[in-house]
Amino acid sequence: MRRKEGALVPLEVSILEAALELRSRGIAEAHGFMLAKELRDGAHARRLTAYGTLYKALDRLERAGYLSSRWEDPQLAADDGRPRRRFYRVTLTGEAALNEAMSAERDATLPRSAAVQPS
């Protein structure tokens, strides 16, 4: 089924949450692996998100304006003897989309909760 334009899928919600969690710990920008690790640890999963799944989701989030990215100075990477790195940061639009997705999820679960409340 084709998903609604701009709608967040669970992985994308998790990525935005992970990025915000990292930001709350003082890491304003995170690269792909860092986000994958945060997702794995947060979900107590055994494995990191697959490459294709992770980077496709990051690409979509950036295209939707929910994330912005920048490439680090190649010299820094060269000095560290590693590949250059792309850093992502959640945008204001991304935060708003995440809040909307969370409240939509809450709304969707409310009627079910209400149904089991004693009258």
Q: Which residues bind another protein (CB under 8 A)?
A: 31-34, 36-37, 47-57, 59, 71, 82-86
Supply the minimum distance, in Å, between the C-beta of residue 50 and another protein: 3
Supply the minimum distance, in Å, between the C-beta of residue 114 and another protein: 37
Instruction: Please state, in angstroms and rounded to a whole number, the distance separating the CA atoms of residues 32 and 38.
Output: 10
Judged by beta carbon, residue 64 or residue 102, the one nearer another protein is 64
R_g over Cα of the chain: 17
Judged by beta carbon, residue 14 or residue 49, the one nearer another protein is 49
Separation in Å, CA 5 to CA 14, 61, 88 = 18, 12, 22
Instruction: Please state, in angstroms and rounded to a whole number, the distance separating the CA atoms of residues 74 and 77.
Output: 5
Judged by beta carbon, residue 31 or residue 89, the one nearer another protein is 31
